[in-house]
Structure formats: structure tokens, C-alpha cells
Structure 1
Amino acid sequence: MTDKKIFNIKNVGDIFTSLKSKGKKIVHCHGCFDLIHHGHIKHFEAAKKFGDVLVVTLTEDRYVNKGPDRPYFNHNIRAHNLAALEVVDYVAINYSPQAIPAINAIKPDFYVKGQDYKVSADDVSGGIILERDAARANGGDLVFTEEVQFSSSNLINQFFDNKDDKAKAFLTGIKNKYTYSHFTKLFDEISSKRVLIIGDIILDEYQFVKPIGKASKSPTITAIKGDSEIYAGGVLAVANHVADFVDEVILISTYGKNKEHEYWDLIQANLHDKVTFIPVHTPERPTVLKTRIVDQVFRHKLFEVIEIKDSHLAVKIEDELINKINEHIKTCDISLVADFGHGVITNRIIQVLQSSANYLAVNAQTNSANLGYNLLTKYDSCDYFSIDKGEAHLAVHDKYGDMVQIQSELNNATHAKISSITLGVNGTSVMTSDGNNIIVPIFNSDVVDTIGAGDAYLSITSLLAESNASKEEIAFVGNAVGAMAVKIIGNKSYIRRTDLLKYIKTLLA
């Protein structure tokens, strides 16, 4: 009986047209419905009173933007749970991030939402206005129920969450101190910023393979070549993350000609609309291309090949970069340096940035192509830095030292007002210039890919640091960003403001 209520969204049009021809009023509810509770049932009962037939659509798993550990139940289980309710007449899965396709297919007389959607400004996605317009365009209208409210996210956080005790304790403290609206206001404050971003472009190629065994005459893995994808990484990824949170991003970097391609079109096609890219062409120097050979099933990286020219920039190119930086640096609120140690950030450029930036945020990354040669300590003046634990140990030439002491030493060396050091599975340490720090645990241990997670953390926390957010706010938002970023393979997509706010709302539930 339950399964007979579940229909393909593409095939429901004729069903409801037929019901309408018989004088039936169609009522439509839409949502995630991850954990069915008393509030949902009261909402459905109240909604049914608007008409005769209640159809409930739910968002397919890929489009549930409530954080990296949601939905708790997959869409098939959620559909079955809804269909088991007597008050519900039809159920369909909506294969779209928005409810609009479902509304267009069903053409309800009444599209029903709970009272928490009455104030459209509270809907961070802005979707409720589009849903209202779609309902009216199809001859119906948007109406609201006034029933008691519960939260699936709150119930899952309390009883089903797999976060450790430290993370739960920290989040309880955040909930007691801050509201969701506090963070929306914080993001509104940074939205007017103009940001200059400088650093190395990296193209991340993922060549997927299917390992089939060892070669017969050598200790070599044999694999069948599969699909490949190229993602906009390095400073491109940083620019894309930042651009979804601010008014304007100015990106200055170099690009060149590689053995097989000149990737100009790919770079342009993968930049956020708010990014203005000011390039310097280096015909003798290729764009850095990192090709990772990846097991297509388990996503294990087998090895990596880098196309790079590891040499100094020509003085002419360096001069051109400096001229372009000087044209824009004074008009930007923040100058953000994504220094991957591949040659774009020279000592002369560092001096220009340190002397002219209104606010300087820095990352100096250690990777296999620059190990030991690209340390944070080449910057003796910045306002904020974000690096990882390994980079911190290298910067002070101390393999085993206490991280609190190391962070304090780096703050003094760079004259930073505030800093972040990411600690992997142990969370994040954020420290102010007076040596006070907070260590915040991770929110998600389910990792797809760590590539780009530190860049995402740097991107958003730099904006918060410039706006004088507290170390607690920076660590909370930064770890939320990190939890989202490790669920993205490579730099396939960037952190969106709407998605981050939805995740923050879930964490605060």
C-alpha cells in the first residue's frame, strides 16, 4: 500500500489533471523531511484542510544543502516514511535543488509551507518567493500553516549525530551564545568588501583509473584509464570561494602555455562571475598542472605528475605583476595572498603587499614541489595568516614543539593580529596577538578529499578576520567551511554563501 503512493515526478501531471477535472483541490507540501516528527504530521494535517488531495515532494539526496552529514536518511527511505502516513495521498522525489519543477509538474491549488517561511527575508536561499510565483503561475497560491514547530535538524543533532563529545560541547556553547541571525548579519557585513587576491594558479587534473593488478615483469600497478576532469585550483579556487561572499574580487596571477594546451578558456570558464581576472601571460612558463592518478572506486590517489617550470620569474613579468598590484591594492579592503610557492609571489612582490595593503591575509603553503622553501616566515608583516600544522612546524624549524608556543612565535614573527592553524583531525587553533587561543574540534570526519580544504578555510576566515570577528566566530565558521570542503573532490565546486548559512543553521538547531 505504501509503495503505491510513490510516483515518478515526471508522471504525476496526468494524475492531478484528472483529479482536478473531478473537482478535487490539490494541496502540495515540499521539503527534505529527513526525520519525520510530530511537527511534520501536524503540518500535513493542517495542509490537507486546504483541499482534498495531499501530495508531498521531497528533495533528492544530492540537493539537500544542510551540511556534509545530511540527509541522515536517503531519499528512498524518506519517501517510504512519508508514504506510510495516512494523511499523505501521493509522494514524489524532486530531482532538483529547487521546488519549482515539482510545482510546475503538480500545479497545486495550494502550495503549503510552515509558519517559519512567512517572513521571506528569513529564507536564506530566497526560494520561497520563487515558489510562490511558480504556484501562482500554475493557477494556485502559497499558503501557510500555523502548527507547532519542531526541527528535524535539532532532533538529529541531539539523538543521531556522530560528532564526538568535544564537538558537541563546543556547539552547545555556540548555540547558547549566538543565534543564526547573528551569522547572517556577520556575512552581510562582509558582503560589501572589495578583495584583491594574488597567488599561483594551479589546474588540478584528476585522471581516474581502474587498477587491475601488477604488471607481469615489473612491480608496477596496471590500470585501465577512465575519465578525467580538470578543476580550477590554487588561487582560482580561493577567488571563487571569496567571490560568493563579497561584492567584487580582483584576481592577479600568471598563466602560460603547457605542452598540450593553453588553458585560458578553461580558466575563464571556471571563474565566478564576480571575479575580475587581470592576467600576466608567461609564454616561457606553463600554468601549473597537477595530474593525480586516482582509483575511480575508492578515490585513493595513486601518484601525481606535475607540469611546472620551477625557476624565478623574469624581471619583466615581475614588474608587470607589481604594476597591476599597485593599480588596485589601495582600493581594496583586503589583499589575500594564496602563496603556493610556485614562483608568482616573489620577495619584491611581498614587499609591495606588506607596505601597501589595507589588510593583508596570507597563506604560504608547503607542498611536494616546494618542500622547505616556502615558509610563512618570509612574511614579516601581515594582519592574518592561515596555515596547517605541518607548515607551522616547518616555519619555526621545530618538528616536535608545542603548537600553542609555535603559533605564538609565528604571530610575533609576522606581527599578525590573529591567526589560524588547522590541526587535521584535531580541529583548528585560532590565536590573537596577545597569545589567547581557542582550539575547536572538527565537525565532520567523513572525508572525500582534503585537496583545497585549507584554501576554502583561508578564503572565508580572512574575510571574517578583517571584519574583527572573534576567534570563536572565526573558528566556528572556518570549521564549518572545512567540513563542507572535504566533501568536495578536488576543487570541483566552491563554497557558496547560501549553502554555508544553511549548514550553520543546521549546526545551531
Structure 2
Amino acid sequence: MIPSLANRFGHKIVVPEQLREIVGPFPRKKKVIMCHGVFDVVHPGHVRHLLYAKSKADILVASLTADIHIDKGLYRPHVPQDLRAANLAAFEMVDYVIIDGNAEPVHNILAIQPDYFAKGYEYNANGLHPKTSQEVETLASYGGEVLFTPGDIIYSSSHLIDLTPPAIRNEKLLTVMERYGVTFDGLRRTVEAMAGRRVHVVGDLIIDSLTNCTMIGGQTKTPTMSVLYESRDDFVGGAGIVAKHLKAAGADVTFSTVLGDDALKDFALQDLAKAGVDVLPQIDPTRPTTNKNAIVAGGYRLLKVDTLDNRSIGNNILNELVEALGATSTEAVVFSDFRHGVFNRRTIPAFIDAIPVGCFRVADSQVASRWGNITEFKNFDLITPNEREARFALADQDTPLTALASDLYDRTECRTLMLKLGDRGVMTFISHEHEKLGSYFTIDSFTDRVVDAVGAGDGLLAYATLTMLVSNSPAEASILGSIAAACVCEQDGNVPIEPEDVLVKLDKAEQSASYWT
């Protein structure tokens, strides 16, 4: 198998302190020139710029902006910083690559003191930009010089990316696997080792229904659609399907929830018992079992009718749930929050205090359409919100995604954050040093065809939790969680994901990512 870019050219990627020792202090015998940019997509304009710069000095240093400081769009960069660094290192004319953890390059210019700093022609065509003037002054302070490369050809990375974002799922996957020592065989062993792990799920059970109809037509006098009822399918969803995913993966699962005293309660308890989930239900006759019923015709969801009561659970039920949580022997506790009464500002502190000492603590707060806040679950080992929930929690709709995720990671004080990005995959943060390599990574979606994306996050939550119990590897957890989410997306309704489903897709991922000589 051909080595990846990061593995083959990683020796060229250094930190500024290393580079200063390598090139020596200014002035020096061998001239050093530095180029700086985002380099999200390296195009012919970049190549000409780098070639020109190399022709002016002995050593060419390519400096690139860390992901955390890129603000050219909500989802930029498309190529993460470690892969952008490897792309530049692969060029023969580039001697060294550094990732600049600062918002501006002047800090590293002063630290390294290159003889020359190369800028594109466009930075000098209509007078100096204030930032360029600052760079000129910084170099002049010790005797360096800014060189402007010829302007006969200029391409815009942003324009190219806007046309078609780069499809680099395999490259991202292999880069993450190499960085964190993950192998495909190791992932398979982790799936096999999930059996027997003990997990306690606490949260809101939902019955998801599909009422299948045939379209008859519309009324002539009113804008009313007419459909013919055919059948109804009920599925255990919400925190219930999280419990079923965990059980399907081989875990021993305890599930604490609140149900109404109705027929859907009976359906839920029978379904969960059949799946092998040990349920500790609290029955509240004053509320219905939460039901979300989608009216479907011709494969389209026309309408969703919800039957629910979102008021907070009473103290008696809260005390029963808290007592069961503290008394249940388990390796992990998963709070699956849909804000249908179990979790709120009043109850969350009591639940957190009741978690047995030494348990792996997980929280997922799927509350984008209701009031709720993932930041109420502080100091957890793993949290798995999606982008919309993160923006809701931080009251921030404008910040680029990487900066948004880093802010959420810091605010929640969690150990691992997996930010679900829908069809763009998952972004995982594991360190507060956000500018450094390895502080976070992205895994693109493994979904080949979307049938029904609802519930994908539940599959990710279950398999990511078990992976962390087995291997304590956020990289493995992100990969296997994403694969489980893809399996959910490729079928209709809430169906538990079996290990065989994950292994089949893992085999396909290995085949796709492998390049044989």
C-alpha cells in the first residue's frame, strides 16, 4: 500500500521552534524565504508562487494558517490543517512546512526571521493593505525584505471551492488513522469487544410512527390534501433506540425512562423486552407516552403529528430515577436528552450528582427545535451535539464551524466533543490547545445513499460510547460512530444497528481507502 502524504512527507512538517534551530539565526549563509497562506486547495497560482519564491532563496518555508483562525466561510477550511500541511510538504520545491497557530504571520516572522517573505502580486497592485504594511515593517525591523511575486496569473481558491468542494473522504480518514495509530483490523477487534459492556441509558423515550397513505387528491374549495390510510408502523425511538442500538452491539443495557399509562407504553415495554433491554420505567398517568407520527404518501412525509407533554417530571419520579441511577452497577451512563420532561435546568444537577463514581459520562442533547442547552452537561467524558444545537447553545449563528466547536468544547469542559455535521460527517475535539496538530480532526460521512437520516445521531452515540469503553480512542469512536450513523441513514425507520452492519461498511471503507501498488 502506498504511504499517505502525512506519512511520506511528515518529516518536512515542523514547529516554528524547530525551524529556527534548523535554519539558524539571521543573518545566515543559506537564505530563507517564507510564504504564508491558507492553501485550502493548492492550484496553479500557488505552484507558480512557490516556484518563484524558491528561485530567490536556498530554503523555502511554507506557512499555513491553522484551522481555528480561518474565517472565509462557515465550513472552511474544507481540507484540515494536517492534510493541508502534508499537501505542501509533498512539493519538491518546499523544504519545510509550519502550521501557524497565530491569527497573523508576524509572530512567526519575528521568531524565525526569514531573509525574505513572499507575497502575491495582488497584495501590492493597489497599494499596501494595512496587514501587509505590518508584515513589511516587521521584516524591516531586523533586516528582512518582502518580495512580491509576478502577477501574470492569479487564481482564487475560494472561487474554485465554491464551484465544487473537494471530495477527500479517504484522505481525511487515512490521515486520522495514521496520526492516532488506528488500523482497520483494530477497528474490527473493537467492534467484537463491545459485547458485555454495561451501559445505563437515562432519557426520553419516543414512539416514532409512520402512517402510510396513498394520495387521493385535494379539495377544490380549500387547500386540503386527501389521503387514503393504508397502514401504520411504530418504532421505539428517542432514548429508547439508543438503548436498542447499544444492546444490538452486544452491551448489557439498563434503560430508565418515563412513560404514560397508555397503549404505547405497553408497546414500548414489549418491544424493549424483546430486544433484551432491562427497562426501569416510571409511569406517569398524567402525561401521554411521547409519540411523533409522520404521515407519509408516495415516499414523502407530508405532515408530522406530535402527541406529548414537555412539562418537567415531578419530584417523586425524579427521585425514583435518581435512586435507580445511583444504584445501578454500570461502566457508562448515557443521558439522552430530547427535552420531553426528563431533563431540564432543575433536574440535570440531581442526575449528574447521582452518576456512580468512575463511570464514563456521556450526554447527547437533541433539542434544536425546543428549549435546551448542551452546555448544562459540564465535565462529561463525551458529548455529541449537532451543529444547530451547538449554535443554539452558544447563541451564535455566524462563527465559522471550527471556532464554534472549539468554543463549545471549552464552555462544556468536556473530554471529547463529537460535533455532528449531517452529511458533512463529524468534527471531534480532544484538546483545549486548538491551534496545534491533533487537537481535533474531522471524519467525513460514510453514507452512500440516504433513505432516512432521522436517528443517525442515536447510532453514532451508541457505537461511539462503546468504542470509548473498549479502546478509549476518540479517533476509533468517531470512525465507528460515523459508520453506525451511515447504517441508520441507509434504512427506513428506527432499526437497531448490528455489529455485522458496521463491519460490512467498514470493509467497504477499507477497500475504498486502500491503494495497492
TM-score range, shorter chain: 0.5 to 0.7
Residue 398 of structure 1, CA deviation: 0.2
Is structure 2 residue 470 aligned with structure 1 residue 472? no
Between 469-478 and 306-315, report the one with greater CA deviation. 469-478
The one of 374, 378, 397 equivalent to 1:376 is 374
Q: Structure 1 pair 384/470, CA: closer, same or farther in 2 (3 Å)?
A: same
| DSSP-derived class of the 1:196 partner | strand
Give the Cα separation in 2 of the matches to 1:336 and 1:314: 21
How many residues are paired up?
337
Which letter does structure 2 place at the counterpart of 1:386? T
Residue 389 of structure 1, CA deviation: 0.9
| 1:187-336 map, 5 Å | 187-258=191-262, 261-271=263-273, 273-295=275-297, 297=298, 299-328=299-328, 331-336=329-334
Contact kept? 1:247, 1:274, Cα under 8 Å: no
Q: Structure 1 pair 272/458, CA: closer, same or farther in 2 (3 Å)?
A: farther
Q: Structure 1 pair 394/268, CA: closer, same or farther in 2 (3 Å)?
A: same
Which whole-Å deviations, capped at 9, do the CAs of 1:131-187 have from their partners, x for residues lacking one?
Answer: xxxxxxxxxxxxxxxxxxxxxxxxxxxxxxxx9831132345578765442112222
Specify the alignment match of 1:400 in structure 2. Answer: 398
Residue 196 of structure 1, CA deviation: 0.6
Q: Structure 1 pair 265/209, CA: closer, same or farther in 2 (3 Å)?
A: closer
Contact kept? 2:208, 2:292, Cα under 8 Å: yes
| 1:125-164 map, 5 Å | none
Give the Cα separation in 2 of the matches to 1:476 and 1:431: 14
Contact kept? 1:448, 1:489, Cα under 8 Å: yes
Q: Structure 1 pair 440/247, CA: closer, same or farther in 2 (3 Å)?
A: closer
Which letter does structure 2 place at the counterpart of 1:462? T
Q: Structure 1 pair 422/272, CA: closer, same or farther in 2 (3 Å)?
A: farther
Give the Cα separation in 2 of the matches to 1:321 and 1:270: 18
Residue 442 of structure 1, CA deviation: 1.4
| DSSP-derived class of the 1:190 partner | coil
Specify the alignment match of 2:361 in structure 1. Answer: 360
Which whole-Å deviations, capped at 9, do the CAs of 1:328-357 have from their partners, x for residues lacking one?
Answer: 1xx211000110010112445422443334
| DSSP-derived class of the 1:477 partner | helix
Specify the alignment match of 1:453 in structure 2. Answer: 456
Identity %: 23
- Which of these two proteins has the greater Rg computed from alpha carbons? 2
Which letter does structure 1 place at the counterpart of 2:510? L
Structure 1 runs, 4 residues or longer, greater than 6 Å off: 174-177
Residue 430 of structure 1, CA deviation: 0.8
Specify the alignment match of 1:441 in structure 2. Answer: 444
Give the Cα separation in 2 of the matches to 1:389 and 1:402: 11
Contact kept? 1:416, 1:433, Cα under 8 Å: no
Specify the alignment match of 2:3 in structure 1. Answer: none
Contact kept? 1:232, 1:267, Cα under 8 Å: no
Specify the alignment match of 1:7 in structure 2. Answer: none
Contact kept? 2:379, 2:415, Cα under 8 Å: no
Contact kept? 1:201, 1:234, Cα under 8 Å: yes
Which letter does structure 1 place at the counterpart of 2:509? L
| 1:161-172 map, 5 Å | 165-172=167-174
Give the Cα separation in 2 of the matches to 1:505 and 1:180: 8
Residue 278 of structure 1, CA deviation: 0.8
Give the Cα separation in 2 of the matches to 1:284 and 1:249: 27
| DSSP-derived class of the 2:352 partner | helix
The one of 487, 490, 493 equivalent to 2:493 is 490
Specify the alignment match of 2:508 in structure 1. Answer: 506
Contact kept? 1:239, 1:275, Cα under 8 Å: yes
Give the RMSD, CA atoms, in angstroms. 2.2
Which whole-Å deviations, capped at 9, do the CAs of 1:204-248 have from their partners, x for residues lacking one?
Answer: 010112223321111122222221100010111000101123441
Which whole-Å deviations, capped at 9, do the CAs of 1:456-489 have from their partners, x for residues lacking one?
Answer: 1111112223445433322221221121110121
Which letter does structure 1 place at the counterpart of 2:237? G
Give the Cα separation in 2 of the matches to 1:346 and 1:272: 31
- Normalised by the length of structure 1, the TM-score is 0.62
- Normalised by the length of structure 2, the TM-score is 0.61
Q: Structure 1 pair 172/439, CA: closer, same or farther in 2 (3 Å)?
A: closer
Which whole-Å deviations, capped at 9, do the CAs of 1:17-47 have from their partners, x for residues lacking one?
Answer: xxxxxxxxxxxxxxxxxxxxxxxxxxxxxxx
| DSSP-derived class of the 1:217 partner | coil
Give the Cα separation in 2 of the matches to 1:475 and 1:486: 16
Q: Structure 1 pair 310/172, CA: closer, same or farther in 2 (3 Å)?
A: closer
Give the Cα separation in 2 of the matches to 1:477 and 1:431: 16
Residue 399 of structure 1, CA deviation: 0.9
| DSSP-derived class of the 2:385 partner | strand
| DSSP-derived class of the 1:285 partner | coil
